[in-house]
Amino acid sequence: MSLSSLAKKVIIILFVTIIALFISLPHEFSLLGKKFTRPNLDINAGRLQIHKNFDLVLGLDLAGGSHLVFEADTGGISLSAKKDALDSLKSTIEQRVNFFGVSEPNIQLSSFGGKDRIIVELPGVKDTKSAVGLIGQTAKLEFREFIDPSQATASAIPTLENTRPTGLTGSDFEKATSGFDTNISKPIVEFRIKSGESAEKFGEVTTRLIGKPMAIFLDDIPISWPTVQSTITDSGQITGNFSVEGTKQLSKLLNAGAITVPIKLVEERTVGATLGADSVAKSVKAGLVVISIVLLFMVLAYGIL
């Protein structure tokens, strides 16, 4: 093997090693008593644009956080509707968890002893009282209209400040399902209104708002603001540039406010990061032992090369 060929291989190995170290280093680290910050990969070269954040997302075992278990009261819901109700409840909790800006939250449904439970793990969240207060409240679905008629356009973004209640709430709403309109060849959301007083109220409001958007809020957060096309008294549909998954998600959110599933906290604990830290320390030691053995083998097998 020539020296030039050997030199090329050594340079390639060093280059790969430097890249591996760059990715593996934490965002902030100390070396020889000095603090350093590792930059993220940011390349802008014409059409070649690479933006990569190498920061690790720590789970509950490494970052610590809150472990919450809620029990859902599904006694008043039929067996056929229970699955949809629990799925909608899970979607609502996921939306509420986004309020905390939590990375990698773990939310899952569980049945134990004939009881339906929702397990919520929030890495890095130590304020369990605020988490329980936000997650544990019953979903609130509300239909609102723009206060200023000049803002009542499809492009306007509704807020609690620029809209007002119409008097329509989740108690007037029966159920939403994802569907497909063959006339326009697009996925849609179909919904039904409760009969009687709810149907009358929906008819009055939608008649007044024909050609204008009606904002739909869940837990004071706008989830959709479709333009009213005609008077609605029994059933209707929401159209737009939806994907099939988008219509399913919107249906779940609408049902979360229509099918009220009360939940109560049955378990609450703050999880420390000691278990994860101990596992990381053992992994580092194991890695060093393995690297040492491999280096020893290579020296014995290949000599100075």
- Residue 39 resides in a domain: yes
Residues 118 and 145 placed together within one structural domain of the fold: no
Q: Kindly state the average pLDDT of the residues 143-154.
A: 84
Residues 129 and 267 placed together within one structural domain of the fold: yes
> What value, to the nearest 5°, has the Cα angle with vertex 282 and ends 276 and 286?
140
Q: On the CB side of 239, how many CA atoms lie within 13 Å of its CA?
A: 12
- Residue 173 resides in a domain: yes
Residues 45 and 2 placed together within one structural domain of the fold: yes
Q: Kindly state the average pLDDT of the residues 17-25.
A: 78
- Residue 111 resides in a domain: yes
> Rounded mean pLDDT of the chain?
82
299 Rama sector, left if φ>0, alpha if ψ -120 to 50, beta otherwise: alpha
- Residue 251 resides in a domain: no
- Residue 254 resides in a domain: no
Residue 126 confidence (pLDDT) above 90: no
- Rounded to whole angstroms, how far apart are CA atoms 59 and 65? 9
Do 109 and 84 contact (CB within 8 A), yes or no?
A: no
Scanning 98-218, the segments in alpha helix (DSSP H) are 128-135, 197-208
Residues 198 and 125 placed together within one structural domain of the fold: no
pLDDT number for residue 204: 94
| Total count of domains within the chain | 4
Range of the domain at 36: 1-56
Residues 146 and 164 placed together within one structural domain of the fold: yes
Residues 6 and 94 placed together within one structural domain of the fold: no
Strand (E) or helix (H) holding 6: helix 3-24
What CATH code is carried by the domain that includes residue 189?
3.30.1360.200
Residue 138 confidence (pLDDT) above 80: no
- Residue 250 resides in a domain: no
Residues 157 and 86 placed together within one structural domain of the fold: no
Dihedral of the alpha carbons of 32, 33, 37, 43, in degrees to the nearest 10:
-30
Residues 34 and 76 placed together within one structural domain of the fold: no
Residues 38 and 186 placed together within one structural domain of the fold: no
Q: Is the whole-model pTM more than 0.75? A: no
Residue 275 confidence (pLDDT) above 70: no
In this predicted model, which residue has the larger pLDDT, 7 or 229?
229
Strand (E) or helix (H) holding 282: helix 274-302
Residue type, 248: K
